[in-house]
Chains A and B, each alone.
Chain A
């Protein structure tokens, strides 16, 4: 079982591939600048929720929390601990 960051990176890679972008975002790379559209970001949020069986709370639905794989990783950890 890979760690959370690897699983999030894999999801982001799948979405980038759908946009014709063959790249593996590093932890601090901005995902929008990497090529994800706003709707890809929504897709990413849904996929992360499904992957970790969590519901991201409304208070955490901010752009900063989804800028990078590292930010999403932190958000997932916090949400899992709170569950």
Chain B
């Protein structure tokens, strides 16, 4: 399928606008660009929601903010929950850049969403962000009443670089449970256009390296800032796709985009999980580009995609579905149509 016409138009406009391509020097430039993009395509605070509040969580060497979203509907003492980790190459992104997405995800999934403002590189390189994510997961899982969340229906979610964190948390929680009966239980993982192998050697990485919104040189610069020298890129905490076994990981919902450099990684991860008996659902969204799900003002299909995700998650957390859809396991032909 060709590029969605709205996505194509967005890429044309970016090209005509003289989008700064490639390598950036100043990380603030990268952060500002993502914040400006969010203002343009999905401004924060615009989606009606049941409630929003913030919580400050002490972590090693500091504090991080958690933003808790409650879905529209009658107030509930306890709801299924979902920790959300935003994308932005581990160097950019914020609670605000993904505020619209979190609001829609909360309404569509019926989950109370806890968005985590994990610390970013270069000031906090790997594994700081992951440690913050692990701290947030443990805190929410062990204090469910504080958040009004059912700890047995708590999932993790993330997009792009946040998807890496979510995927790795699942592995950490599974491994921790072998020795610790109080390790957090993760009921599901939702990975939206996740980065799952930082080696970046897939066909999609090569074929979509430039001109599809996220350029390879930008990604390379993100990685330079995030990964300290001497760290193995094949560390499964950076490249969970490189793990050798996947048994016992939580059910996965993996959403990829046809014209996303990370699409092959999502497909391969789905196959690896499925090969180890992990239930996998998801969709390869045809004609779409990276970050499409957060661009409803530019790419209307973003709303439909989040609706699809909402239906999937409602099934797994045992909430009434808004609309019944047929789900298919990810297959290669669905990814690269």
Residues of A within 8 A of B (CB): 32, 37-43, 45-46, 58, 61-63, 65-66
Q: Do A38 and B14 touch (CB < 8 A)?
A: yes
B19 nearest CB neighbor, chain A only: A38
Residues of chain A with a CB closer than 8 A to B17's CB:
38-39, 41-42, 45, 63, 66
Q: Are A42 and B13 in contact (CB under 8 A)?
A: yes
Tell me what chain B mostly uses at the interface: helix, strand, loop, or mixed.
helix
Q: Which residues of B contact A41 (CB under 8 A)?
A: 13, 16-18
Whether a CB of chain A sits under 8 angstroms from the CB of B37 is yes
Whether B36 contacts A61 by the Cβ 8 Å rule is no
Q: Which residues of B contact A (CB under 8 A)?
A: 9-10, 12-20, 32-33, 36-37, 39-40
In the complex, which residues of chain B have a beta carbon less than 8 angstroms from the beta carbon of A32?
18
Q: Please, how many angstroms separate the alpha-carbon atoms of A44 and B71 in the complex?
A: 34
User: Which residue of B9, B12, B15, B37 contacts A39 across the interface (Cβ within 8 Å)?
Assistant: B37
Q: Can you name 24 A-B pairs with beta carbons within 8 Å?
A: A37-B32, A37-B33, A38-B14, A38-B18, A38-B33, A39-B36, A39-B37, A39-B39, A41-B13, A41-B16, A42-B13, A42-B40, A45-B13, A45-B16, A46-B13, A46-B40, A58-B9, A61-B13, A61-B16, A62-B16, A63-B16, A63-B17, A63-B18, A65-B16
Report the minimal beta-carbon distance from B300 to chain A, rounded to whole angstroms.
14
B18 contacts A43, C-beta separation under 8 Å: no
